[in-house]
């Protein structure tokens, strides 16, 4: 994400020579208390625009500070939605831009039976709820939901349960090392039983990106189905330029990814809006950013004036042994974000479609 932001700032500086962009970089190291302290210090020093945060918990931690200071947080990560702060510009995807297209694809091309594994926090809970409610009315079932502490790397029992249940696919909302270890262990366990895991029990998610494929390692990198708005293998002139510039600026990696692209376009949108507004005052910048669309590496992107979420282009892809993705499906045009799913869900929550088993350890 930092690489994407720095590249976006460098390009924005080149495009808007009348602006002086001076990035201040803070690293809270994943500690929510430090997010709050550092954001407080930044705002107190007069900074009005901050690009960053990855987890929802870190974002929730600092939003009150931005609301109080009337500053803007440019949040570049995909997330579970159900939020729309007036002091946040959201450039990452929400459920109708990643999860719902994935559910549609899985039901049409993979099968109806889901087994969910996830890290025990809001990202997994909410995504599994949306999956459950989307899959049920379309003939699918969730046979089990298993939750693990963040950082857990012990999945033997869950994998035994998966092999016993033989779902059409595993829906993976594990994060970080947990996810990589799970993918490695599942591949090995399937191999022992003569099961072609990628073909017979594929793992689907909305989180897998190119740097994570590198972290999984060569034995289990391929065959995972992922929904995202950006893949570095996109064949567009804008993406070709982005990837080339990214590799030139960061030859040591990490490789370009959806998070890098979302942060890159957050920085570019910020610079564009400040330039257009002629001020860094939050209200003026918000008005300006909602008026313009930019050609991003993923295609056209614009910010919705009502929700301050981005119109993005959903895509489904499958990971390859070389650590990149093959695009399987993509939307014909950018899709408006629907953070509260008011246009993409029924009035009522589902009660009939419940997993056969739900375990949190």
Q: Which of 345, 353, 355, 359 binds another protein (CB under 8 A)?
A: 345
The two structure tokens encoding residue 248: 């030139």
Q: For residues 48 and 60, which CB has a smaller minimum distance to another protein in the complex? A: 60
Q: Transcribe 208-246 into DSSP letters.
A: --HHHHHHH-GGG-SS-EEEES--TT---HHHHHHHHHH
CA-nearest of 51, 41, 1 to 21 is 51
Binding-site member from 306, 321, 354, 358 for another protein (CB under 8 A): 306
> Minimum distance between the CB of residue 3 and another protein, rounded to whole angstroms?
31
Of 95, 88, 20, the closest CA to residue 51 belongs to: 88
Binding residue (CB under 8 A) for another protein from 11, 127, 227, 307: 307
Q: From residue 115 to residue 154, what is the string marking binding to another protein with x (rule CB under 8 A)?
A: ----------------------------------------
Range in contact with another protein (rule: CB under 8 A) among 5-13, 71-79, 249-257, 347-355: 347-355
Q: Is residue 346 involved in binding another protein (CB under 8 A)?
A: yes
Which residues in 72-91 contact another protein (CB under 8 A)?
82-86
Least CB distance to another protein at residue 64 (A): 8
Tokens of 343: 């246009």
Judged by CB under 8 A, the number of residues near another protein is: 21
CB of 324 to another protein, least distance (A): 37
Q: Does 351 bind another protein (CB under 8 A)?
A: yes
Do 5 and 51 touch, CB atoms closer than 8 A? yes
How far is it, in rounded angstroms, from Cα 13 to Cα 19? 7
Q: Name the minimum Å distance from CB 294 to another protein.
A: 23
Whole-angstrom distance, CA of residue 70 vs CA of residue 47: 11
User: Does the footprint of another protein cover residue 349 (CB under 8 A)?
Assistant: yes
CB of 30 to another protein, least distance (A): 23
Contacts with another protein in 198-237 (CB under 8 A)? none
The distance from CA 327 to its chain's CA centroid, rounded to whole angstroms, is: 17
For residue 261, which of 224, 313, 223 has the smallest C-alpha distance?
313
Smaller CB separation from another protein, 241 or 358: 358
Find the binding residues for another protein in span 16-75 (CB under 8 A). Answer: 63, 67
**Strand order, beta sheet including 72-75:** 49-51, 72-75, 88-90
- Which residues have C-beta within 8 Å of that of residue 105, sequence separation ≥ 6? 225, 227, 316, 328, 329
Interface with another protein by CB under 8 A: which residues?
63, 67, 82-86, 306-307, 339-343, 345-351
């Amino acid at each position: 994400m930092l690489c994407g932001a720095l590249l976006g700032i460098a390009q924005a500086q080149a495009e808007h020579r009348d602006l002086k962009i001076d990035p201040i970089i803070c690293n809270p190291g994943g500690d929510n208390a430090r997010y709050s302290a550092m954001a407080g210090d930044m705002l107190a020093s007069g900074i009005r625009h901050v690009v960053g945060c990855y987890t929802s918990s870190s974002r929730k931690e600092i939003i009150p500070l931005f609301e109080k200071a009337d500053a803007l947080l440019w949040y570049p990560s995909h997330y579970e939605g159900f939020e729309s702060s007036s002091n946040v510009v959201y450039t990452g995807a929400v459920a109708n831009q990643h999860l719902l297209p994935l559910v549609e694809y899985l039901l049409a091309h993979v099968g109806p039976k889901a087994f969910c594994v996830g890290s025990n926090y809001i990202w997994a809970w909410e995504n599994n709820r949306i999956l459950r409610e989307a899959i049920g009315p379309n003939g699918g079932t969730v046979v089990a939901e298993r939750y693990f502490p963040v950082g857990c790397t012990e999945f033997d029992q869950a994998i035994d349960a998966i092999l016993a249940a033989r779902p059409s696919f595993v829906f993976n909302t594990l994060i970080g090392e947990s996810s990589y270890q799970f993918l490695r262990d599942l591949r090995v366990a399937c191999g022992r039983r003569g099961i072609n895991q990628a073909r017979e029990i594929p793992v689907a998610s909305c989180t897998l990106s190119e740097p994570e494929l590198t972290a999984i390692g060569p034995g289990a990198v391929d065959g995972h189905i992922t929904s995202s708005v950006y893949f570095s293998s996109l064949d567009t002139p804008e993406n070709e330029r982005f990837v080339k510039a990214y590799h030139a600026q960061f030859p040591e990696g990490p490789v370009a990814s959806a998070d890098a692209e979302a942060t890159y376009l957050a920085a570019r949108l910020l610079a564009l809006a400040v330039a257009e507004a002629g001020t860094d005052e939050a209200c003026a910048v918000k008005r300006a950013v909602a008026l313009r669309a930019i050609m991003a590496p993923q295609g056209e992107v614009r910010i919705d004036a009502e929700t301050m979420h981005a119109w993005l282009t959903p895509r489904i892809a499958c990971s390859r042994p070389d650590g990149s993705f093959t695009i399987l499906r993509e939307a014909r045009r950018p899709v408006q974000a629907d953070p509260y799913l008011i246009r993409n869900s029924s009035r009522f929550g589902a009660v009939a479609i419940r997993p056969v088993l739900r375990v949190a350890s």
